[in-house]
C-alpha cells in the first residue's frame, strides 16, 4: 500500500472532524459542510489536529465524504482513528508513569515492577465495576449415571504355562 493511501496516516475523520459517537446524519452533514468551507478557504488544504496542512483534491474530499456517510465504511475507518487510552486522564496513573521516567537505570527495574503491580491493581479495581460476580455452580447432577459395565471373569495363569503354550 502506498504511503499516501495508508489509512493510519490520513482518513476521513481527519478531513471531517466528526466525533466517533455522533450518529445523527443531519449533524454529521453539518460538520462535513463546515469542513468543506474551511477546505475552500484554506486553498484546498485541510488543517489537521496536529497543526499540519493536508493538501487534498475535491475528488478525494468527496470520496472521504462518501465514506463518512456509509455506516459500514465509517465503522471500518473508525478503527484507524487515534484515541487516547482511557487511563491517560487518570492522575494516579500519570503520577506513576512520572515516577518510572525519573528513576535511574539501576533503579528502573524495581520501580517498574512496583508501578506495574499498582497499575494492575488499579486496572482490576476499575474492571471489577463492570463485571458481575459469577453464578454459583450447580452441585446436583442433571444427567443420570450410566449403568455399571458387567463384571469380567479374570483367570490367573502362571507364567510358565504361557511360555509352554507359546
- Which run of H or E residues covers position 30? helix 25-41
83: left (phi over 0), alpha (psi -120 to 50) or beta: beta
Residues 36 and 99 in one domain: no
Residues 13 and 73 in one domain: yes
pTM above 0.75, yes or no: no
Q: What is the pLDDT of residue 1?
A: 40
Residues 66 and 113 in one domain: no
How do residues 116-156 score in pLDDT, each as one tens digit? 888 888 888 888 888 887 888 777 777 788 888 888 888 88
What domain count does the chain have?
2
Determine contact, residues 78/20, Cβ cutoff 8 Å. yes
Q: Is the dihedral of CA 117, 119, 122, 128 positive or negative?
A: negative
Q: What is the DSSP letter of 103?
A: S
- Confirm whether 136 is domain-assigned: no
Residues 49 and 25 in one domain: yes
Residues of the chain with pLDDT under 50: 1-3
Residues 13 and 70 in one domain: yes
- Confirm whether 84 is domain-assigned: no
Q: Which residue matches cell numbers 475535491?
A: 58
Residues 37 and 96 in one domain: no
Q: What is the pLDDT of residue 112?
A: 77
Q: What is the pLDDT of residue 27?
A: 93
Q: How far is CA 62 from CA 14, 32, 67, 90, 105, in A?
A: 14, 10, 9, 39, 52
Amino acid at each position: 500500500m502506498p504511503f499516501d493511501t495508508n489509512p493510519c496516516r490520513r482518513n476521513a475523520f481527519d478531513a471531517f472532524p466528526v466525533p466517533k459517537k455522533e450518529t445523527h446524519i443531519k449533524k454529521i452533514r453539518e460538520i462535513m459542510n463546515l469542513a468543506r468551507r474551511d477546505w475552500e478557504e484554506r486553498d484546498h488544504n485541510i488543517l489537521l489536529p496536529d497543526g499540519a496542512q493536508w493538501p487534498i483534491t475535491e475528488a478525494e474530499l468527496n470520496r472521504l465524504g462518501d465514506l463518512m456517510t456509509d455506516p459500514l465504511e465509517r465503522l471500518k475507518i473508525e478503527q484507524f482513528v487515534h484515541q487516547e487510552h482511557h487511563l491517560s486522564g487518570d492522575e494516579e496513573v500519570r503520577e506513576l508513569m512520572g515516577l518510572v521516567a525519573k528513576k535511574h537505570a539501576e533503579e528502573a527495574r524495581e520501580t517498574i515492577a512496583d508501578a506495574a503491580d499498582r497499575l494492575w491493581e488499579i486496572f482490576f479495581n476499575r474492571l471489577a465495576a463492570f463485571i458481575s460476580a459469577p453464578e454459583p455452580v450447580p452441585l446436583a447432577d442433571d444427567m443420570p449415571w450410566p449403568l455399571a459395565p458387567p463384571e469380567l471373569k479374570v483367570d490367573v495363569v502362571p507364567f510358565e504355562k504361557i511360555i509352554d503354550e507359546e
